[in-house]
Chains A and B, each alone.
Chain A
């Protein structure tokens, strides 16, 4: 590849990363600032992603849909759009996406806001049945004077929401400036030509990686633990030469709870698995995703119809899609054992405060080594909120946060251990738990043992995998997260 190209690729990624760093450091929501639940990206005029600053994989394949949704509104150079509708470019409602124009295409920021309204504080209800119950649905909307005021008025803690929007918009101004500087230095035409070639390069790298996998059709299934019973995810992966196709036909229909996924989330999970198994270091771009085709029946759990509740799809179903795809590809090549397979979403709040966290667990062991303990395993990689930061800001106390020793599966390489985390309420509030792998244990690979299933407890009494409860001061929630599966016997 031409050197100028590489230099320009470097510069474009630098802009995306700088946007991300500025957003994290100046935001207000714990999810963005402490846990880095946000992503930033640059797109070309045709809506193809050319550079992304990745913090969490679930945004991987979902950003392009946001740009596509905005392009349908024929945006002018000065327009800025905001959206969160999972069926028009979004993922789940707390992830608010802003799209602006640049001299070379589009800039995008996506960040998980602490609250977007809806029936439960924190907007991650355990039992929602429609999208409206989960919060304010924002279709692609042109920002005009008063747009943001109108939106934040529908959410809890509007002042904090305003702060997060300002942080996002500042990242867009930064992108605009930096792109203009790049054009002044290198010429817009040259950069446009370079973008095309960068996309072609990423595509070549990923195609070469897929080419190393054996041809064939590989199928697998796994289940989700919905309140009303088990739901099945079924995938058939076809590898033919340097292309890969995933078909989710046979997956359960969308359900009345919130484990439904828009297709964009399903695509993200698929890209994640391809990336892990081909070239983990190839820069994320439209080119890197080009060799991968995803099909899923409309109205299924992994391609739900507009209006379906999706709070848990983005965080939980996405994990299971990864498990199913690894299991299918495990019939062709060695893959890691299953990790905890959940993000253990915990939301606490009342009308005065909202606090959301996800909790790490065991990673499944790999063909070449043990699984790490107490980490996020697939579609997330957010950090903990330090106990000291949490207690300074919220009426909560952390009672315990230790490794759940021995919870990882046995094997030639051991699965990682889960963790035990206890939170005490210091004031009356509501708690929502959205978790998985409470009944089914994360499986080992190639003869390795399963990891322990997770548990949720309130004052020692077992709670279901998905639940909303009222807490009184002194009540203690204890979450034991699953261990990862072991590898080899």
Chain B
């Protein structure tokens, strides 16, 4: 598997550089806007039990067995299983990618994810807010403005230190490209650039992107958001312990 294929895998994991996206051949429709608008909400929903199982598959059973699980409904995420260990497992949809991500509205995206307690407290509220607003029919600019206001009023929390999330499910669908999936860990940091962890350099095991945008050209107001980088490290096994393809 080539490095570009790796990058394309993580398109759906909300991790990639704009230049690669721009040069990738697209499988459907306009290569820059394969999913220009939201699909009918039914296409984003799942059978509840299947969604719980997929969410839990993001991490080894030793973690996810006692985690809370949230599932998507027509109006947002709701708790399906109350956990005991502070972790929260869920299945992200395409709109948890950067606001200008070409697969933002891709209804096939199913990104199984287990967040540690610090990430559950400080990252997940952003997912709740974004999801509720989008499902209520608000436009991206409206959602961006609402999130900015919520951050400024401290209705959305600041990032806590020590956040990590496991994305090790075999059954995730992260992107239309490549093999669609790959096991990895993600770390959220207030770092302003990739350099803090030596990410995105040749042969570096660390990839990173801005949490909010790829280029911010379409939504310049995102540039005023608090710096938030997502660092990603590929691991060599799926959550069930079986070996993953070499990347």
Say whether A associates with B: no
Residues of A whose CB lies within 8 Å of any CB of B are none
B-to-A contact residues, CB < 8 Å = none
